[in-house]
Amino acid sequence: MNTFKQRCLPAFFLLFFTAVVFSQEKFTLSGTISDDSSNETLIGANVYIKETETVAATNQYGFFSISLPAGTYTVEISYVSFGTITETITLNQNVRKNFQLSSSSEELQEVVITANQQKANIRTPEMSVNKLSVQEIKKMPVVMGEVDVLKSILTLPGVTNAGEGASGFNVRGGAADQNLILLDEATIFNSSHLFGFFSVFNADAIKDLKLYKGGIPARYGGRLSSVLDIYQKEGNSNEFHMTGGIGAISSRILAEGPIVKERGSFLIGGRASYAHLFMKLAGEENSAYFYDLNTKLSYKLNDNNNLYLSGYFGRDLLEISDSFNNIYGNAVVNLRWNHLFSEKLFANMSLIYSDYYYGLELDFVGLNWDSGIKNYNFKYDLKHYLSDKFKLNYGLNTIYYDFNPGTIEPSGEDSDINPDQLDKKYAFEPAIYIDAEQQLTENLTVSYGLRYSMFYRLGAQDMNIYTNNQAVVFNDELKIYEKATPIDTKHYGSGDVIADFNNLEPRVGIAYKLNDEQSVKASYNRMAQYLHLITNTSSPTPLDVWAPSDDYLKPQTLDQYAVGYFRNFKDAAYSLETEVYYKKIKNRLDYIDGANLIANEAIEQVVLPGRARSYGLEVLFRKNTGKLTGWISYTLSRTEQQTPGRTPNELGINNGDWYFAGYDKTHNLSVTGSYELNPKWSFGAIFALQSGQAVTYPNGYYQYGDVVVPSFGARNMDRNPAYHHLDVSATYTPKPEKKKGWQGEWVFSIYNLYNRMNAASITFRQNEDTGANEAVRLSIFGVIPSVTYNFKF
């Protein structure tokens, strides 16, 4: 670490000062860009200055700022599927101007859409980033007609998941707990409903999403592999509107409108599943359902100050014959204040409270179980638009965590359960960062930043102490890992520091523009993660607990390198993005064989530190214009994990050999297309083809008592059959010309058109009747047609 400081920090400051010297005698054009019909701000809208060929994009609050020498300029404002505005602006003083774009689809253009956000970004060092607009997501065919934000990102290169119905997603070989999922800046701990079949995000309430797979800016931290940044809509501040949809599984309704016209708006959206009601009618006593609620209040105090209050509340409820009740979900409240110190300095302050709750009632065991994570987050982020060639982002982020691994109570007087409280855990995670983007020459732009993250594990808690500090011991005779018995415990009082860690996380990117259509880029990022999701299964379950780092569970760190080639063809009608990446992860936890993780108070006794590596090639080819648009994404990759023995005598996990991660997919191809036939009909299709999951097939079996036990060789050396499916959808708008009052639309979709029986899992067991062993394939989704009706007024 020290050598890094000495070598890199002076260079960092040098760049900073050169930039300041040249930023004189300029004026600033700044403002916000919004949709003229709703006043909803647009994220990532482009501002292009023709004379200087300067390009800027709006930030996540729709704000932009460009500094230019005095003069008269032609300014072009554009955004995907919106028209383009061209204006001449004379800059002889700082100019503050807000622009409003009108949606091109509302003008019933049958002409091709020209402005497009999705063309490859040639100029800036930003790479390994994918954006999807909600319009694109809504066009994709989906299981049972449920528009799914998380499933949509699986069509992007470098993104996979463990299988159908598996929750979570894996980015460039990262584990599912290594994704930072932000909803309006607030961290979401569990992103799926009903064991991963649906995501917790209501697409109607969402404006935009951006997925960072690499080159992650210094502003983000706390997770290793990716950032999924999701922004909710602010709500229409011009007029009251409602949108909604009726589907097979769930229905949703959303209301938005002005509180004070053009200054304040509200948005409230709800969604609930009701398939369980039909099940009840059919005499089924068991039920599973979910609901969620998105709310947002936005208020513009004046030109320089905006306030946003947003909230999310979601719950899953599972019930079996009154014997088993399970409730879990997230609740998030978030207050943000945007403040403009000057035309060049934009600030956002966020105060976030988030609560993940998991509760279980087991009546015939007589047990009630509550667990959860509460966190309090304060963020202050500044964007400093120093010149058209130099931008700085800096700020701080602090999070206080309160983990409740479990409160156990007897459910009634006749219960035999002893009340128990598993040790609560507390932690504080502050970080500061600075990030610069600088254009060095006409063709060369760099970004460089540094994040300094810290982590304090706090009391009150009694911590176990072990011989030689080893919580897991290797039994050399039996060749198995076993739990160590603590020799003592040490009490830490409230607020005492139990363990602390810090990491310097450099982030560097460079873009070299070959010409206006092509560029090459490279990036490096280091990340640190102080929380571990304790799970021994291939995909997370809601019952999994998060554990903060301590002396036994060390923070995970990652180094990632990526290089890429980016190109737009034919005036960005087509674009190509290719990247190769290599990443390695330290301190990835692995579990000793047979580790029991549920209600385990001493997780350190069942985990060993391992490492992981992943490398791959990603290709994304897009067709951006015309009636047929879409993309082909292909990833060739390998993801492996290794947990060697700590001494030469120890076997390690899987004999200390590298093994494939459960979500390793050698080939991953996805073709996503949509076709606008006419204003009434449009069509969508997705084809996915992936290598089968890495699994372990038995190489024999044996009999132990009454139990037939499969025997296995090395871990994850076999592959399930290839996974593929084709999904199609058709959208019918009966009255496309209607722009006021009730506007309806039908979405017909067929998931898995040719009824491919994909293996969600293959299990090896004895047939109860014949006694013979057999391999049994479980397929979750066959062909599933569905109809959804969407409306707005």
Partner 1 sequence: MRKLYTLLLVFTGLFFTACEDVVDLDLPTAPPRLVVEASFNWMKTFTGHYQEVRLTTTAGFYDTDVPIVSGATVYVTNSKNDVFEFSEEKSGFQGIYACINFNPEIGETYTLFVEVNGETFTATETLMPVPQLEEVILTNEGFDPNDMSLKAYFLDPPETNYYLREIGREGYSGGVAIFDDRFVNGNYTYTITIFDDLKPGDEITTFLYGISSRHFDYMSKLLSIVDEENVTNPFRTPSINVRGNIVNQTNPDNYALGYFRLSEGSFITYTVE
Interacting residues with partner 1 between 179 and 208 (CB under 8 A)? 194-195
Site for partner 1 in 697-736 (CB under 8 A): 697-713, 715-716
- Identify the three-state secondary structure at position 646: coil
Q: Biggest alpha carbon distance in the chain?
A: 89
Q: Please pick, from the candidates 36, 370, 482, 551, the single residue that binds partner 1 as defined by CB under 8 A.
A: 482
Site for partner 1 in 125-164 (CB under 8 A): none
**CB of residue 709 to partner 1, shortest distance in Å:** 6
Please report whether residue 421 would count as binding partner 1 according to CB under 8 A.
Answer: no
Please report whether residue 280 would count as binding partner 1 according to CB under 8 A.
Answer: no
Please report whether residue 407 would count as binding partner 1 according to CB under 8 A.
Answer: no
Please report whether residue 648 would count as binding partner 1 according to CB under 8 A.
Answer: no
Please report whether residue 763 would count as binding partner 1 according to CB under 8 A.
Answer: yes
**CB of residue 278 to partner 1, shortest distance in Å:** 15
CA end-to-end span of the chain, whole Å? 58
Sole window of 132-140, 301-309, 475-483, 735-743 interacting with partner 1 (rule: CB under 8 A): 475-483
Please report whether residue 480 would count as binding partner 1 according to CB under 8 A.
Answer: yes
Q: Which is nearer to partner 1, 21 or 478 (CB)?
A: 478
Q: Please pick, from the candidates 479, 490, 680, 735, the single residue that binds partner 1 as defined by CB under 8 A.
A: 479
**CB of residue 192 to partner 1, shortest distance in Å:** 13
Please report whether residue 767 would count as binding partner 1 according to CB under 8 A.
Answer: yes
Torsion, Cα 291 294 295 296, to 10 degrees, reads: 180
Site for partner 1 in 662-691 (CB under 8 A): 662
Q: Which two tokens stand for residue 494?
A: 């409230």
Torsion, Cα 570 571 573 574, to 10 degrees, reads: 60
Distance from CA of residue 205 to its chain's centroid? 16
Number of residues that bind partner 1 (CB under 8 A): 81
| Residue 580 bridge partners (DSSP) | 563, 617
Please report whether residue 411 would count as binding partner 1 according to CB under 8 A.
Answer: no
Please report whether residue 85 would count as binding partner 1 according to CB under 8 A.
Answer: no
Please report whether residue 416 would count as binding partner 1 according to CB under 8 A.
Answer: yes
Please report whether residue 321 would count as binding partner 1 according to CB under 8 A.
Answer: yes
Q: Which two tokens stand for residue 504?
A: 């310097």
Please report whether residue 444 would count as binding partner 1 according to CB under 8 A.
Answer: no
Q: Which is nearer to partner 1, 82 or 723 (CB)?
A: 723
Q: Please pick, from the candidates 15, 362, 440, 753, the single residue that binds partner 1 as defined by CB under 8 A.
A: 362
CA distances from 560 to 96, 526, 597, 726 (A): 40, 6, 30, 33
**DSSP output for 378-443:** EEEEEEEEEETTEEEEEEEEEEEEEEEEEEEEESSTT--PPPEEPPPEEEEEEEEEEEEEEE-SSS
Please report whether residue 593 would count as binding partner 1 according to CB under 8 A.
Answer: yes
Site for partner 1 in 528-547 (CB under 8 A): 536-538, 541, 543
- Identify the three-state secondary structure at position 204: helix
Check if the beta carbon of residue 82 is closer than 8 Å to that of residue 15. Answer: no
From the list 543, 532, 676, 551, the residue with the least C-alpha distance to 591 is: 532
Q: Which amino acid is at 757?
A: M
Q: Which is nearer to partner 1, 479 or 627 (CB)?
A: 479
**CB of residue 184 to partner 1, shortest distance in Å:** 31
Contacts of 21 (CB under 8 A, 6+ apart): none
**CB of residue 420 to partner 1, shortest distance in Å:** 6
Q: Please pick, from the candidates 189, 289, 455, 781, the single residue that binds partner 1 as defined by CB under 8 A.
A: 781
Please report whether residue 598 would count as binding partner 1 according to CB under 8 A.
Answer: yes
CA distances from 355 to 187, 234, 462, 645, 689 (A): 10, 22, 24, 38, 37
Please report whether residue 786 would count as binding partner 1 according to CB under 8 A.
Answer: no
Strand 324-342, strand 129-133: pairing: unpaired
Phi, psi for residue 329 in degrees, rounded to 5: 165, 175
Please report whether residue 324 would count as binding partner 1 according to CB under 8 A.
Answer: yes
Q: Please pick, from the candidates 36, 106, 363, 423, the single residue that binds partner 1 as defined by CB under 8 A.
A: 363
Q: Which is nearer to partner 1, 292 or 361 (CB)?
A: 361
Q: Which is nearer to partner 1, 19 or 595 (CB)?
A: 595
Distance CA 758, CA 333 (A): 40
**CB of residue 759 to partner 1, shortest distance in Å:** 8
Please report whether residue 782 would count as binding partner 1 according to CB under 8 A.
Answer: yes
- Identify the three-state secondary structure at position 553: coil
